[in-house]
Amino acid sequence: MDELELNKRIIQWEDSSQEFKSKKLFLDKKAKSRHELDIAAECVAFLNKNGGTIFFGIEDDRNIDGLSSEELELVSQSLSSLVKDKINPPIIVETENIVTKENGIVIAMTVPKGIDKPYQTSQDGKFYIRSGHEKVSIKHREELRRLFQEGVHVYAEKKVLTNTTLSDLNLIRIKQFYEDGLSRSMPDEEGLYTELANMHLISGEQLTTVGCLLFANTPQSALPSFNIKCIRFKGTDLEATEFYESQLYEGTIQELYQQANSFLKKWNTLEQEKGSSFNDKGTHLVNPIVFEEILINALVHRDYFINDGIKVLFFDDRVEIISPGSLPNSLSLDELLLYAAARERNPILSRISYHILDYKGVGSGIRRSRKLHPSIHFENNSVNQTFRVIIPYN
């Protein structure tokens, strides 16, 4: 990087991928420890997000106050020690010395996107993540769990529900799954529980999250937030207080899909002509297959670490389907849309969904939906942790 590129970066100023620091942070001996902890926190925030660059030798007023050769050696040693001793797990960074004509040397330290998340500061054990131009302390367990999920294979669907017992299982549903989905008879009791444990649907005498969602008598008794809220608004405003219909659906994954899809089918017609019966066939506002694909994707790929339900919002000009959780494991929206790439957040649920839902596999629903309805668009919000699908009418 040369001085021209550096000045362009300074004009852009701080954002989700770059931060500027004064060299005085290292030269103030009395507050050096505190400043180093702050820099370690900045590194942790970048590591836990998508990486970034920290520039040393830039003042808050955006003026360059670079380092002398002697200061460069001191700061370089401090940074080398900092990334090894003040970040857990330790990291390796790349640094570049940018020589300016009149204002000394600026250090550009590139912090990679972490591959062993979550990262924390060693001194006080805090976790941070980059949000816009700031580092944000992680205080919610759900966010920390998501970072663990990115770093190692930790899955919300495998969580053991201590408020359940094997008596919560609906054996009729399980029998149907074996006969219709697996094309074989359900084993006897001992063999059944062994197989359910091997499929991670139960653990010991209790159900896992995925086992509860698929085969419990009343899943919301143990998982009250995992539902679908469907609203048919009057008008186009999300803040509207008037609506034609509002439903809160509960049940298994299969039942949630059937109920929400029936709601969408009910309202997915053009306005009926005056004097015609409500049951008269009308033209679809949206190809019904699009709703089916997006609804299945929402149920299968949502983040079950987040205690919230799926929302289906029907307006006069569009339908929005909002899932808890942004795209998993640092998958970008561009990757998803350009290549239909996908990374499984819930591999057990994905596998079983082949047998109980009309589910074709990761990424395929997005491909088919875009082909059938080109105006569909997607919003991935990593701050609010939601994935929104907006389907304008034809």
Q: Which of 85, 107, 139 is the last residue of a domain?
A: 139
> Based on the number of CB atoms within 10 Å of its own CB, is 97 exposed (0-12), middle (13-18) or buried (19 or more)?
middle
Q: Please indicate, yes or no, whether residues 235 and 354 belong to a single structural domain of this protein.
A: yes
Contact status, residue 107 vs residue 267, Cβ threshold 8 Å: no
Q: Please indicate, yes or no, whether residues 135 and 210 belong to a single structural domain of this protein.
A: no
Q: Please indicate, yes or no, whether residues 120 and 203 belong to a single structural domain of this protein.
A: no
How many CB atoms neighbour CB 28 within 10 A? 12
Q: What is the largest CA-CA distance in the chain?
A: 88
Q: Please indicate, yes or no, whether residues 106 and 160 belong to a single structural domain of this protein.
A: no
Q: Please indicate, yes or no, whether residues 296 and 346 belong to a single structural domain of this protein.
A: yes
Its domain, for residue 192, covers 156-218
Q: Please indicate, yes or no, whether residues 236 and 342 belong to a single structural domain of this protein.
A: yes
The stretches of 268-345 forming alpha helices (DSSP H) are 288-301, 333-339
Domain count, the chain: 3
How many CB atoms neighbour CB 205 within 10 A? 11
Render pLDDT for 331-349 as a digit per residue (tens, 0 to 9). 677 777 765 545 678 889 9
Of 30-34, 255-259, 315-319, 377-381, minimum mean pLDDT range: 30-34
Torsion of CA 231, 235, 238, 240, to 10 degrees: -90
Q: What is the CATH number of the domain that holds 312?
A: 3.30.565.60
Render pLDDT for 290-341 as a digit per residue (tens, 0 to 9). 999 999 999 999 999 888 999 999 999 999 999 998 887 666 777 777 655 4
Q: Please indicate, yes or no, whether residues 183 and 304 belong to a single structural domain of this protein.
A: no
264 found inside a domain: yes
pTM above 0.75, yes or no: no
